[in-house]
Structure 1
C-alpha cells in the first residue's frame, strides 16, 4: 500500500498529507562527482527545469554537491556561507520553493 501511494505521488508530482492542502514536490536525481563546480552547474540546471512546474518542495540527493575519495574530503569542507549553501539559497529564492539539499561537508565538533 505504501509503495503504491508513493508511486502515485511520484507520477502525479503532488502529495496530500493528512487531508491537508496539496504539496507539489519535485525530486532531482544526479550523479555527483569530485568536481564541485560541475555538480553545482548540473544541479542548478535541473533545479531550474524542475522549478518551471512551481513545486513547493524540491528534493536533491544525499551527496549532491560533492562525492569522492576519503583523502579529498578535508579539502571540500565548507562553512554555512560556502558555495553549496549559497547556491541553494539563491536557487530557492529564484524558484520560490523550499529545497531539501542533502549533505554538504561542514566542520563539526572536534
Structure 2
C-alpha cells in the first residue's frame, strides 16, 4: 500500500469483515486496531459482534472482560428528533416519558 493505513482504514476493513463473515481476517485486523488505538471502544464492539456471529461466545466474554479491564464503555445509541422547534433525545432503551405523546 503506497500510503500507510490509519485506524479509520483498518476500522472500515473490520466492518467489512463483519459484514462478509471473514472471521480469520477480522482477528488480524482487530489486533492491529487494538495496537493502533487501544482506547477506541468501537473496535472491541465490532470484534465482539464478529465473535458472536461465529458462535464463539467464550471469545465474546473474553473480549468484554478485556474491555472492562481497560475501562472501556460503549455509549448507548440515541436519536434526536425536532418537534415544535424543540430537540428531543431518545436513548435506544428509553422508557416512555410524559413528554413523548407531544413529540
TM-score by length of 1: 0.34
Larger-Rg structure = 2
